[in-house]
């Protein structure tokens, strides 16, 4: 858990020159480079509802405005609403002497206890669906505008094609913005004459009635100044902004909000176009088909204990390093030669000169307590390596701050062996996976003086 | 399980039909109404004045109800708790007065200057410590103790009381009621 909790003390330099904690980085096994969330390509796999876990195809999701039709959020506090059943006794229409129990359903929030009866919404006879929807008062105008933008985009595209692809790529975004269907985009590739198919008389841009700017507001009614504010009847800004199309001002106008869909996302390396992360298709599953997080391949450096520092005085700092790989891994640490950036390096550091050998990660034996049997196996220098336990070692670095005050930051180059198991299995029949050496720049913030 | 014999509190009045587990701490002048259920490990302390608890209340484990004098004016006043209230696990109540049909959820804290009317819900972990009277059907919820007024008061927990009166005697020693229903003390409103 420490990996995720104290995320910003130890950072690795991504290939794109940004610094991230290791649990936020990916290692592309094909380029053998670190990738971060900002330098990979994000792709939407499947939109799905986080409550009912129903998968919705992307097109359908777009039509439904990325919202689930069966699940609702509380308009007051935002929690998911539950369907509650209540019995309701009414006289039997066939035999007036008998009565039948009818089950009716309403929506209720388990957190703030809001329910649909609060706003006098009628109970439903079926448990799911069928809830009355509010009609957006501006839907006609919005559709009109969209229609016009689409036409405008087509006209613009036609113009561009006449100019023989002056800028080929730039208008892709434009089409996307105005919601042009993919088939229209494909047609572009077929022939440059496709613009002719858009005949002038087909559809013309309608004269949109321009929107009217609001020039002046009515003055506030006198009640506003004389009556005490009814805070319990007025909605808050959050309530209004969560439904921008209605913006209810009175609590009695609050309406259940259709739940937003979320999506399964996959990440792709921009250079080699291989997947870095791909989740299972099924929304119920939290597994990944492909997950190349750097945490699984790159040795993780951590600060063991906080130390106190004095200006220009050497302090011993214990760092730990753990090996995620199933092979013994050799690591060397070296100075970054021309690191002059004072922002990330405010101390001189003396690193272990010898190679450090990290034992393999062996999941079953990790939970068994073993005492120092490994020390003999690896012939460790006790001055250098403080302890060794399973796949983890603790080693000492000497840090001398060169600034009188502020944060003590050091950086070094971490060079480690990497055995590419998957690619080796694909490419050759040889048993031993090929050993590659990878280099990463590591930046640590050790504390303040 | 051994029966911890607490020293008998001479000022404790338990109506017939109430279910009070022996393993709870009842200090001072306390009256407990019929069909009220008090779980083990609850603490009711009548420190500054008597506490009168009405009927059909549920007081769960680790609940602390104290009659505390916040000001000299309140000293010696009776803390009256109405009917059909639910005090959930670990809540802490020092209120001046509590009406009917309220729910004080887990770990909520009601300070010694608060007056709770009827049908209110104090949500989990919410803290009320201002000098105020909660209007009827108020819901306090969330980490910012936001408020709203709900239309209906929370329903009475009859089924739960029936269930508890059946189950609790199987596992806990009970205090014996010492007042008959017919001569019950008037529950003031």
pLDDT in tens, A227-264: 888 888 889 899 999 998 889 888 888 999 999 999 99
Report DSSP state, residue A246: T
Chain A within 8 Å of B121 (Cβ-Cβ)? yes
- What's the pLDDT at A187? 47
Give the number of other CB atoms < 10 A from CB of residue A234.
13
B150 closest CB neighbour out of A77, A111, A118: A118
B142 closest CB neighbour out of A112, A115, A232: A112
What percent of chain A clears pLDDT 70, i.e. is strictly above it?
83
Chain B residues touching residue A112 (CB < 8 angstroms):
123, 139, 141-142, 146, 148
Helices assigned H by DSSP within A266-409: 373-378
**What are the φ and ψ backbone dihedral angles of A332, each rounded to 5 degrees?**
-120, 145
* pLDDT higher than threshold 80 for residue A35: yes
In what helix (H) or strand (E) does residue A131 lie, and over which residues does it extend?
A: none
Tracing tokens 């819900």 back to the chain, one arrives at: B121
Q: How far is CA A140 from the centre of its chain?
A: 34
Tell me the β-bridge partners of A412: A442
Mode of pairing for the β-strands spanning B138-141 and B121-122: parallel
ipTM: 0.77
Instruction: Provide the CATH number for the domain formed by B12-175 in this structure.
Output: 2.160.10.10
Phi-psi region of A165 (alpha: psi -120 to 50; beta: other; left: phi over 0): left
Give the number of other CB atoms < 10 A from CB of residue B55.
20
Q: What confidence tier does A429 reach under pLDDT thresholds 50, 70, 90?
A: low
CA distance B101 to chain A (A): 14
Q: Where are the beta strands (DSSP E) in A362-434?
A: 385-389, 392-401, 407-419
Q: What confidence tier does A196 reach under pLDDT thresholds 50, 70, 90?
A: very low
Taking one residue from A and the other from B, the number of pairs with CB-CB distance under 8 angstroms is 29
Phi-psi region of B118 (alpha: psi -120 to 50; beta: other; left: phi over 0): beta
Q: What is the mean pLDDT of residues A46-62?
A: 91
Contact between A18 and A35 under an 8 Å Cβ cutoff? The reply is: no
Contact between A321 and A393 under an 8 Å Cβ cutoff? The reply is: yes
**What are the residue ranges spanned by the domains of chain A?**
25-66+261-298, 68-135+228-260, 299-363+379-448
* pLDDT higher than threshold 90 for residue A184: no
In A, what residues contact B, Cβ < 8 A?
A: 76-77, 111-115, 117-118, 232, 251
Q: What confidence tier does B104 reach under pLDDT thresholds 50, 70, 90?
A: very high
Chain A residues touching residue B146 (CB < 8 angstroms):
77, 112
> Which of the two residues, A317 and A204, has the higher pLDDT score?
A317
Which residue of chain B comes nearest to A78, CA vs CA? B142
* pLDDT higher than threshold 70 for residue B189: no
- What's the pLDDT at B92? 95
Report the b/e string of A242-261 with b at 16+ CB within 10 A. bbeebebeebeebbbbbbeb
Report DSSP state, residue A361: P
Burial degree of A211 (CB within 10 A; 0-12, 13-18, 19+): exposed
Query: CA-CA distance, A27 to A296, in Å (whole number)?
Result: 9
Q: What confidence tier does B59 reach under pLDDT thresholds 50, 70, 90?
A: very high
What percent of chain B clears pLDDT 90, i.e. is strictly above it?
70
**What are the φ and ψ backbone dihedral angles of A237, each rounded to 5 degrees?**
-55, -40
Q: Which two tokens stand for residue A132?
A: 């009355």
Residue B154 has, within 13 A of its CA and on its CB side, a CA count of 26
Q: What confidence tier does A201 reach under pLDDT thresholds 50, 70, 90?
A: very low
Query: CA-CA distance, A64 to A72, in Å (whole number)?
Result: 14
Q: What confidence tier does A1 reach under pLDDT thresholds 50, 70, 90?
A: low
Chain B residues touching residue A113 (CB < 8 angstroms):
121, 139, 141, 150, 154
Contact between B117 and B132 under an 8 Å Cβ cutoff? The reply is: no
- What's the pLDDT at B58? 96
Sign of the alpha-carbon dihedral angle for A367, A372, A377, A379: positive
Query: CA-CA distance, B118 to B135, in Å (whole number)?
Result: 8
Cβ contact (<8 Å) for B146 and A114?
no
Mean per-residue pLDDT over chain A, rounded: 82
Q: What is the mean pLDDT of residues A68-83?
A: 92
Tell me the β-bridge partners of A413: A334, A441
Contact between A261 and A68 under an 8 Å Cβ cutoff? The reply is: yes
Nearest Cα residue to A231 out of B110, B154, B128, B135: B135
Most A CBs within 10 A among B149, B155, B159, hence the mutation to make, goes to B149
Q: Which residues contact A214 (CB under 8 A, 6 or more apart)?
A: none
Nearest Cα residue to A21 out of A8, A6, A32, A5: A8
Q: What is the pTM of this model?
A: 0.73
Chain A residues touching residue B147 (CB < 8 angstroms):
232
Cβ contact (<8 Å) for B141 and A111?
yes
Contact between A357 and A329 under an 8 Å Cβ cutoff? The reply is: yes
Mode of pairing for the β-strands spanning B37-38 and A329-334: unpaired
Q: Which residues contact B144 (CB under 8 A, 6 or more apart)?
A: none
Which residue of chain B comes nearest to A112, CA vs CA? B141
Cβ contact (<8 Å) for B154 and A232?
no
CA distance B152 to chain A (A): 8
Cβ contact (<8 Å) for A113 and B139?
yes
> Which of the two residues, B33 and A101, has the higher pLDDT score?
B33
B121 closest CB neighbour out of A76, A113, A115: A113
Range from A116-130, A135-149, A176-190, B78-92 carrying the lowest mean pLDDT: A176-190
Range from A217-221, B21-25, B39-43 carrying the lowest mean pLDDT: A217-221
Most B CBs within 10 A among A74, A229, A232, hence the mutation to make, goes to A232
pLDDT per position as a tens digit, A114-130:
989 888 888 888 887 77
Burial degree of B140 (CB within 10 A; 0-12, 13-18, 19+): buried
> Which of the two residues, A129 and B97, has the higher pLDDT score?
B97
DSSP per position, B140-182: EETTTTEEEE-SSPPPP-HHHHHHHHHHHHHHS-BPPP-B-GG
Which residue of chain A comes nearest to B120, CA vs CA? A113
* pLDDT higher than threshold 60 for residue A186: no
- What's the pLDDT at A193? 45
Query: CA-CA distance, B82 to B54, in Å (whole number)?
Result: 5
* pLDDT higher than threshold 70 for residue B56: yes
Q: What is the mean pLDDT of residues A343-371?
A: 79
* pLDDT higher than threshold 60 for residue A426: no
Pick the CATH number of A299-363+379-448 from 1.10.10, 2.70.98, 3.40.50, 2.60.40: 2.60.40
Query: CA-CA distance, A127 to A121, in Å (whole number)?
Result: 15
* pLDDT higher than threshold 70 for residue A300: yes
Mode of pairing for the β-strands spanning A347-350 and A356-358: unpaired
Nearest Cα residue to A321 out of A312, A330, A309, A311: A330
Q: Which residues contact A65 (CB under 8 A, 6 or more apart)?
A: none
CA distance B124 to chain A (A): 9
Q: What is the mean pLDDT of residues B173-180?
A: 86
Please tell me chain B's helix, strand, coil percentages from 3-state DSSP, rounded to the nearest 5: 10, 30, 60
Helix and strand totals (H; E) in chain A: 10, 21
Range from A161-175, A299-313, B169-183 carrying the lowest mean pLDDT: A161-175
Nearest Cα residue to A150 out of A186, A198, A191: A198
Q: How far is CA A124 from the centre of its chain?
A: 37
* pLDDT higher than threshold 90 for residue A343: no
Q: What is the mean pLDDT of residues A393-416?
A: 89
pLDDT per position as a tens digit, A328-342:
889 999 888 776 666
B141 closest CB neighbour out of A112, A115, A251: A112
Report in angstroms the alpha-carbon separations of A384 from A31, A304, A320, A354: 34, 14, 12, 9
């Amino acid at each position: 858990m420490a990996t995720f909790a104290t995320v910003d003390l130890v950072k690795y330099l991504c290939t794109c020159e940004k610094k991230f904690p290791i649990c936020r980085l990916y290692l592309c096994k094909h380029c053998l480079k670190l990738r971060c969330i900002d330098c990979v390509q994000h792709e939407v796999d499947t939109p799905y509802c986080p409550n009912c876990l129903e998968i919705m195809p992307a097109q359908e999701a777009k039509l439904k405005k990325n919202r689930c039709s069966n699940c609702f959020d509380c308009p007051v506090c935002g929690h998911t609403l539950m369907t509650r059943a209540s019995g309701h006794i009414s006289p039997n229409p066939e035999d007036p002497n008998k009565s039948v129990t009818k089950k009716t359903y309403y929506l209720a929030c388990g957190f703030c206890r809001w329910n649909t009866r609060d706003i006098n919404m009628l109970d439903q006879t079926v448990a799911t669906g069928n809830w009355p929807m509010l009609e957006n008062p501006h839907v006609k105008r919005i559709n009109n505008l969209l229609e016009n933008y689409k036409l405008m985009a087509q006209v613009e595209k036609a113009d561009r094609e006449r100019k023989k692809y002056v800028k080929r790529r730039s208008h892709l975004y434009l089409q996307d913005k105005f919601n042009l269907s993919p088939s229209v985009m494909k047609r572009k590739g077929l022939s440059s004459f496709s613009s002719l198919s858009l005949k002038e008389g087909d559809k013309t841009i309608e004269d949109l009635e321009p929107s009217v700017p609001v020039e002046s507001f009515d003055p506030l009614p006198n009640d506003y100044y004389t009556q005490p504010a009814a805070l319990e009847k007025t909605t808050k800004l959050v309530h209004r902004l969560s439904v921008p199309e209605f913006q209810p001002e009175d609590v009695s106008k609050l309406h259940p909000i259709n739940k937003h869909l979320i999506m399964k996302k996959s990440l792709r390396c921009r250079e080699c176009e291989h997947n870095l992360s791909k989740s299972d298709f099924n929304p119920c599953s939290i597994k990944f088909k492909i997950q190349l997080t750097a945490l699984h391949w790159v040795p993780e450096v951590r600060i063991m204990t906080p130390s106190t520092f004095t200006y220009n005085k050497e302090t011993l700092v214990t760092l730990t390093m753990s090996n995620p790989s199933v092979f013994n891994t050799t690591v060397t640490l070296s100075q970054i030669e021309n690191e002059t950036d004072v922002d990330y390096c405010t101390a001189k550091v003396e690193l272990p000169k010898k190679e450090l050998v990290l034992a393999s990660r062996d999941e079953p034996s990790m939970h068994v307590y073993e005492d120092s049997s490994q020390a003999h196996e690896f012939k460790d220098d006790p001055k250098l390596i403080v302890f060794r336990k399973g796949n983890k070692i603790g080693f000492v670095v000497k840090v001398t701050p060169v600034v009188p005050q502020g944060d003590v930051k050091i950086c070094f180059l971490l060079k480690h062996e990497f055995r590419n198991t998957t690619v080796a299995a694909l490419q050759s029949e040889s048993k031993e996976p090929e050993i590659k050496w990878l280099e990463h720049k590591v930046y640590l913030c050790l504390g303040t003086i | 399980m051994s029966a911890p014999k607490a020293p008998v509190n001479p000022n404790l009045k338990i109506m017939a039909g109430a279910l009070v587990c022996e393993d709870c701490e009842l200090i001072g002048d306390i009256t407990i109404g019929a069909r009220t259920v008090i779980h083990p490990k609850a603490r009711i302390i009548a420190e500054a004045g008597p506490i009168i608890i009405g009927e059909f209340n549920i007081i769960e484990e680790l609940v602390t109800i104290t009659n505390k004098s916040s000001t000299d004016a309140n000293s010696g006043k009776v803390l009256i708790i109405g009917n059909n209230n639910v005090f959930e696990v670990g809540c802490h109540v020092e209120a001046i007065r509590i009406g009917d049909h309220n729910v004080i959820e887990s770990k909520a804290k009601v300070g010694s200057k608060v007056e709770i009317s009827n049908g209110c819900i104090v949500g989990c972990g919410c803290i009320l410590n201002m000098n105020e009277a909660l209007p009827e059907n108020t819901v306090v919820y969330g980490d910012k103790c936001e408020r709203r007024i709900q239309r209906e008061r929370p329903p009475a927990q009859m089924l739960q009381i029936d269930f508890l009166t059946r189950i609790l005697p199987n596992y806990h020693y009970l205090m014996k009621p010492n007042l008959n229903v017919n001569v019950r003390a008037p529950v003031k409103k």
